[in-house]
Structure 1
Amino acid sequence: MSESSQERTGNADLWASGVVALGALAVALVPGVPPLVGLVVGVPFVLLVPGYALVAAVFPRAGETTPWDERRVFWTSRLALSVGGSVVAVGAVAGALDFTVWGFAREPVAVGLVAFTVVAAAVARFRRARVPAAARVTVTPGAVGTRLRSVAVGDGVAGAALTVVVLVAAVGAAGVVAEEATSTAETTELFVVGEVDGERVAGAHPTNLTVGRPADVTVGVGVSGPDSFDGTVVGHLERAAVEGDTVRVTRRWEVARFGVSVEPGDRSLVEHTVTPRRPGDPLRLTYRLYPDGADRPLREVHVWVAVAPT
C-alpha cells in the first residue's frame, strides 16, 4: 500500500466526520425534514462531531489525551474531550454569528458548525501527516467499529468510568438541546408581511417611508409547538453600517411595542403604524420578540427601508 493510500485509510475518522457533517447540513437546510429526524441526526452531530475534529487537530499523536498507555482509555478520553470540544465549537460559532447579518438561527448555526468541522478535520489531517507513522493517530475504516465497541465495553476500570461520564454528559446535553429546540426557537416564528389584493404576502411590506408620515406594517408571530406563547414585540428603526458580512448598529429609535399572545398551532398578525422621525437610506426596521420576563429576544427579523425627508 502506498504512503498516500495509507494516509487516506488511516484518516477514516476524519472522513467520517466530514460525511456526518454534510449529512447534518442537508437535514438542516432541506425543507420538509420531520423534526424527529432533525433531532436524531442533529443532536449527536452537535454533541460530538465538531469537538472530535477539534480534538483530532489539537492531538495528532496517539496517546496524547491520556497518561496511560491503554488503547481503550485513550479512545474513551478522546470521546470525552469531544463533548467539551463541541461546547467550545458551538460557543465560537454562536459568538461569531451574533455579529453578522444572519444571527443565531438553525441554518446559520448548522453552516457554521459544518465549516468548523471541515476546517478542523483538514488541520488534523495536515498535522497527522507531519507526525511519524508509528506515533500518529491512525484509524482505518475497519477499525471504527472496533474503537466504538472498545469505548463502550472496555474492561478497564478507568475506561468504564470515563464511558459512564461521557454517556451521562451526552444524554444530559441532548435533553437540554431537545427541550430548548422544541419549546422555543424551533416552535416560534416572527415575520413581517404586507398586503396585496387583500392578502398578506411576505416581501410586500412598505420599503419607502417619509419622515412624519405613518406607514402600515404587519408583524406576525406563529407557534407550531404544544405550548402557547406570551410576550412582547419591540420594533426599532436602526442606522447600521454594513462592513462585509458584519452589521454594526450605530443608532436606533423605537417605533413600535406591543404584546402578543398566541395559542399552540396558531398565528397572530398585528397591524400597526410606523412613523419615522429621522431620514436615512438605508435604515433597518428591526423587530425583536421577547418572551414574558426575558431580557434577551427569542426571535429577530429585519427589513431594509428608505426614509425620505418631508
Structure 2
Amino acid sequence: MAPDARWRLMVPRWARRMPADLAAIVGLTLLTIGAVFLPFVQETPLRVVVGLPFVLFVPGYALVAALFPERGPPEDTDEAELDSAEGGITGLERVALSFGVSIAVVPLVGLVLNFTPWGIRLVPIVVSLTGLVVGLVVIAARRRAELDPDRRFRVPWRAWLTSARGELFEPDTRTDAALNVLLVVSILLAVSSVGYAVAVPQQGESFSEFYLLTEGPDGELVADDYPTEFSPGQGQELVVGIGNQEHENVDYTVLVEIHEVQVQNNSTRLIEREELRQFDPSLAHNETWQQPHTVTPTMTGERLRLTYLLYRGAPPQTPTTDNAYRELHLWVNVTQEGGATANVRPVAPASS
C-alpha cells in the first residue's frame, strides 16, 4: 500500500469524504479558535495572522460554497459558451464573492448579537461565526454530494501544484527563471513585511482617561446629575475613574481636594485648600479602574471648587491644577442646608 493511501486511512471517514476546500475552511476555523482562546497563543501575533483571513474570507466562502455547489465553466471559455453554461461560477468569481460576502455577513452577525443578552463581545462573536461557518459547510458538502461527480465543484490542487512546480523548477527560458526568482523574492519580502507589522505594531496615541460618574436612579453609572450642594460633615457619593491607554503599566495618584478660590480677570487664585481623599491605583495598559467614594467636606462657603488631580507616579509637594497630569472639578456650595444638583464641567482627557 502506498504511503499516501496509508495516511488517508488515518483520517476519519467523514473527513475523507469532505471536499478539500471545505475541509480547509473547517481547519482554518479551528485554528482561529485556538489562536483566540489558547492562553499561550492568544497574546501572540498568530491571533491576528489567523483571525484576519477568517473574518475577511471564511464566512463568505462557506456561504458561496453553499449557494454554488456546481463547478463553473473553464477560465478560457468564450462568451457564447459562458452564456449557455448551467449554474456554477468561475474560481476567480468564487474568491471575489467570498471577500465581498464576508464583509457583508460579519457586520450582520454583530448587529444581531447587539440585540441579544450576550452583546458584541469576543466569545459570542467567535461562537456565532463558527456556528455559521460549520452550518454552511455542512450544507455545501450535502449539496455537492447530491450532484453528479462531473458537475461538482472541486479545487484543482494537484493541477495547480504540478503547474507551479513546472514553472518554478523547469522554466522554458532564462527570462522565465529570472522572473520566477523575482516572484519568490517579492513574496518573501511581502510576507516578511506583514509579519513584522503584526509582530511589532506601531503604538497609537497614548493617553489616560479621567472621569467622574454618579449613580443614576436605575443603579447605572452616568456622567450626569452631579451633587453640588453639600452640608458640612455630610457626605455624598461620587465615582472617579481612570482608563489606562498609555501602552505601559502606570502607577497613578488621585488627589481629591476642595479649594476656596478667587476668580478675577479670567485668572484663578487659590486661597485655601482641604485634602479629602487620596487613591493610588496601579493599572496595566487597557485596564480601567473605578472607585466609589464619599465626599465629605468640612470647609464651608459658596462657589468652592471640588477638584480631582491625577498624577503619574507620586504627586509633587505642592499639587496644583497646573502641574497635574489630568484635572477635573465641579463648583459646589458647602452650607448648612443643601440639596440641589447641577452638572459638572469635566476637563476632557488630553493626549500625552
| TM-score, scaled relative to structure 2 | 0.44
Give the structure with higher Rg (CA).
2
